[in-house]
Amino acid sequence: MKKTRRLEGIIHGCFLILGLITVGFVLLITVYLVISGIPAIIEIGPKEFLFGKRWASTAAEPEYGILPFILTSIYGTCGAIAIGVPVGFLSAVYLSKLAGRRIRTVAEEAVSLLAGIPSVVYGLVGMIILVPGIRKLFDIPDGASLLAAMIVLAIMILPSIIKVSMTSLDAVPKEYEDASLALGATPVETYFKVSVPAARSGIAAAVVLGVGRAIGEAMAVMMVSGNAANMPGLFESVKFLTTAVASEMSYSEGLQRQALFSIALVLYVFIMLINALLNGVLKKRGEK
Amino acid sequence: MNRLAGISKKRRVKIALLKALMLIAVAIASGIVIFLAVYVLARGLKGISWELLTTEPSYINDTIGILPDILNTLYIIIATLFFVVPLSVGAAIYLNEYAKSRRLVAVIEYAAETLSGIPSIIYGLVGMLIFCELFGFETCLLSGALTLVIMNIPTVMRTTQESLKSVPDSLREGAFGLGAGKWRVIKTVVLPCCVDGIVTGCILAVGRILGESAALLFTAGFSHDLNGLFEGLFKSGATLTVALYVYTKERAGLEVGFAIAAMLMLMTLAINLLAGAVKRGFKKRRDL
C-alpha cells in the first residue's frame, strides 16, 4: 500500500514537471535573450543603439543604430493592418452573418489553406508578381520595398483576422439581433450596429493577433523588401527587425553578432507587450 | 415583398454601401486565395518530375534534385513528434487531471500562449544558442527538431487538453470506484479517450513543421546531402521550405522553387482536410 502511494507520488511529480515545461521554456528563452542581448546594448550605448539612425555593421567604423529597423517594423505592421483589417473584418461579417452554409464551409477551408501556406511561398509569389508589379506601376528602379512587404504581410494576417473575428461574431447571442430586427432595423444595419459592437473585444483581439503575426514575420518579408538598412519610406528598400537578424546572422561575428541578439531582444520586448495586450483584451471579454 | 419599402433613402444608400463594401472585401479575399492557389499550382506542377523528386542535386550535371530535402523534412517531422508528443501530452494531463491550483493553471496557460506568439526567427536564434552552441550539437537536423519541439508544444498541448476536457467524469469515477489508482485511471481510461486530440495536434504540428523556415535556417542549416535517418539527424540539412528559399535566392532555381511551392501547397491542403476529417471521425465515434 505504501509502495503504491509512493509510486503515485513519483508519477504526480513527473507530470508536475511536464506541466511546468511551457513556463520553463518561456523563462529559458527570456533569460537567454536577455543575457545575450544586453552586452551589445551596453557596449554601443542604449541611446545610440535604439535611436541611432545608421546601421553599418560591416563598415570600417561600424555603426549600430537600429531606429530604421524599429520604424520599418512599426510602419510595415501598421500598413499591413491598414490594408488587412478592413478586408478581413468585412469578409468576416459577410461570412458569419450573410453567407449561406455552403459558401461558409468553402470559405473556412480557404481561410485555413491561406493560414497554412508556408511563408516562403508567400515570399516567392510576392517576389515574382508583386515586386515587378510595383516597379512598373510606380516607375521606380526596384520594386522590392516597404510597400511590397506591407501587402504581403496584409495577406498573411488575413486568415487570423477573418477566423478570430468570425468566431466572436458567431458567438453574439441571437436574441440581440432578433431584438434589433424586431425594432425595425434591417439585417445589414443590425449586423453592423448590434452584432459588431457586441463582438468588439473579439475583433480587437483579432487585430492584436494580426499585429503580432506581422511584426514577427521574417522570411516572406525578407524576400520582398530589398534588405537595405534605410529609414522607412514606402518605396525604399528596407530591413525589418526580423530580417535584420535573419539576413546577417550567418556571416556575423563579434560585436555585430551580439548586436543582432540585441535586435532580437528588442523584437521580443515588442512581442511580449503585444501578448500582454492580447491577454488584456481577452480577459476583458471573459469578465463581461 | 420589399422589406426595404418603408425606409428612407439615406438609410437605403447606407445599407447598399455597406453591402457593396462587404462584397468587395470578400471578392478581394477570395480572389487572393484563388489566385495564389492557381498561380502556384500552374507554375509549379509542371516542374515536378520523377527526376526532381528522386535525385540529389548535382553540380556536375547541373541538375537540381530535392530528394535530400524531402527526406530531411521527413526526419525533422519524425524527430519533432517523437519529443513533442510525450512532453505536451504530459503537460495537458497535468493541467487537466492533476493541477489543483487555479493560479498555477493560469500561469501555465499564459506561458503556452506566449510560446505560440513568439516569432519563429526568435526560436531560431535561441535554438541556435542552446542546442547548437550550449549543447554542442552544431548545426544539424536534431537541433532544428528540438527547436521545433518548443514551438509545437502549445499546439499539441491545446488539442490534447480540449479532448481531455470532453472525457466524461463518470468514466474516471467509475474506474476510481473499482479501486484503480490515479495513474492507472489515466493510463487505462483517460489516455485512450483523448487519442483524437493527440492525433489532431500531431497533424497540426506537422503542418507547422512543413511550413517553418526561419527557425530552421540557423539551427538545421541548408546543405542538400543524402543521409539515412540516424546519421542525417546529426548533419546539417535543408527542409523543403528552406530549400525553396535557398534555391530561389542563390542558384537560378525559380522553377524548382515553384515546384516545391506547389508541393507544399498541396500538402497544406491535404493536412487541413485530414485534420478536419480526423476531428469529425472521432466526434462521430464519440457521439455514438
Residue B58 placed within a domain? yes
**pLDDT tens track for B39-96:** 999 999 988 888 888 888 877 777 788 898 999 999 999 999 999 999 999 999 999 9
Closest by Cα among A63, A61, A30, A76 to A259 = A63
Identify the pLDDT of residue A287: 55
Q: Are residues B177 and B219 in the same domain?
A: yes
Residue B2 placed within a domain? no
Q: Are residues B23 and B86 in the same domain?
A: no
Identify the pLDDT of residue B287: 65
Question: What is the C-alpha separation between B69 and B59, in angstroms, rounded?
Answer: 16
Identify the pLDDT of residue B91: 94
Mean pLDDT over A98-121 rounds to 91
Window A:237-266, CB contacts with B under 8 Å: 242, 245-246, 249-250, 260-261, 264
Measured between beta carbons, the chain B residues lying within 8 angstroms of A23 are 107-108, 111
CB nearest to A12's CB, from B15, B98, B269: B98
Residue B255 placed within a domain? yes
The residue with cell 508578381 is A129
Measured between beta carbons, the chain B residues lying within 8 angstroms of A32 are 126, 129-130
Percent of chain A past pLDDT 70, that is, above it, reads 98
Contact call for A19 and B122, based on CB within 8 A:
no
Residue B198 placed within a domain? yes
Q: Is the model's pLDDT at A95 over the cut of 60?
A: yes
Mean pLDDT over B97-106 rounds to 90
Closest by Cα among B200, B232, B192, B191 to B69 = B232
Q: Are residues B33 and B113 in the same domain?
A: no
Confidence of residue B1 (pLDDT cuts 50, 70, 90): very low
Q: Are residues B138 and B236 in the same domain?
A: yes
User: By residue range, what is the domain housing residue B161?
Assistant: 51-287
Q: Is the model's pLDDT at B235 over the cut of 90?
A: no
Averaged confidence pLDDT in chain A:
90
Q: Are residues B212 and B74 in the same domain?
A: yes
Count: domains in chain B: 2
Q: With an 8 Å Cβ cutoff, is B56 touching chain A?
A: no
Identify the pLDDT of residue B233: 84
Q: Are residues B114 and B129 in the same domain?
A: yes
Residue B155 placed within a domain? yes
CATH number, residue B225 = 1.10.3720.10
Contact call for B113 and A28, based on CB within 8 A:
no
Question: What is the C-alpha separation between A232 and A138, in angstroms, rounded?
Answer: 17
Mean pLDDT over A199-203 rounds to 90
**Best interface-test mutation with A: which of B121, B139, B185, B217 has the largest number of A CBs within 10 A?**
B121
Q: Is the model's pLDDT at A144 over the cut of 70?
A: yes
Confidence of residue B288 (pLDDT cuts 50, 70, 90): low
Contact call for B30 and A118, based on CB within 8 A:
no
Q: Are residues B135 and B269 in the same domain?
A: yes
Q: Is the model's pLDDT at A36 over the cut of 80?
A: yes
Residue B148 placed within a domain? yes
Q: Is the model's pLDDT at B207 over the cut of 90?
A: yes
Mean pLDDT lowest among A90-99, A272-281, B255-264: A272-281
Q: Are residues B149 and B256 in the same domain?
A: yes
Mean pLDDT over A233-261 rounds to 88
Identify the pLDDT of residue B181: 84
Question: What is the C-alpha separation between B113 and A25, in angstroms, rounded?
Answer: 12
Contact call for B22 and A274, based on CB within 8 A:
no
What single-letter DSSP state applies at residue A232? P
Question: What is the C-alpha separation between B57 and B42, in angstroms, rounded?
Answer: 24
One DSSP character per residue, B12-70 reads: HHHHHHHHHHHHHHHHHHHHHHHHHHHHHHHHHHTT--HHHHH---BTTTTB---HHHH
**pLDDT tens track for A56-80:** 887 788 888 999 999 999 999 999 9
Give me the interface pTM, i.e. the ipTM: 0.90
Measured between beta carbons, the chain B residues lying within 8 angstroms of A95 are 26
Q: Are residues B199 and B64 in the same domain?
A: yes
Q: With an 8 Å Cβ cutoff, is A9 touching chain B?
A: no
**pLDDT tens track for A110-121:** 999 999 999 999
Confidence of residue A184 (pLDDT cuts 50, 70, 90): confident
Residue B229 placed within a domain? yes
The 3 state secondary structure assigned to B72-128 is HHHHHHHHHHHHHHHHHHHHHHHHHHHCCCHHHHHHHHHHHHHHHHCCHHHHHHHHH
Q: Please report how the helices B254-287 and A101-116 are oriented relative to each other, as an axis angle in degrees rounded to 10.
A: 130
Question: What is the C-alpha separation between B217 and B192, in angstroms, rounded?
Answer: 37
Mean pLDDT over A157-177 rounds to 93
Identify the pLDDT of residue A118: 93
Q: Are residues B209 and B244 in the same domain?
A: yes
Identify the pLDDT of residue A194: 93
Contact call for A8 and B183, based on CB within 8 A:
yes
Identify the pLDDT of residue B4: 60
Neighbouring CB atoms inside 10 A of A37's CB total: 22
Which structural domains are found in chain A, ordered by start?
46-287 (1.10.3720.10)
Q: Are residues B101 and B138 in the same domain?
A: yes
Q: With an 8 Å Cβ cutoff, is A110 touching chain B?
A: yes
Cβ-contact A170, A99 below 8 angstroms: no
Contact call for B261 and A87, based on CB within 8 A:
no
Residue A200: partners with Cβ closer than 8 Å, 6 or more residues away = none
Closest Cα in chain B, distance from residue A19 (Å): 4
Q: Are residues B65 and B27 in the same domain?
A: no
Identify the pLDDT of residue B170: 87
Residue B4 placed within a domain? no
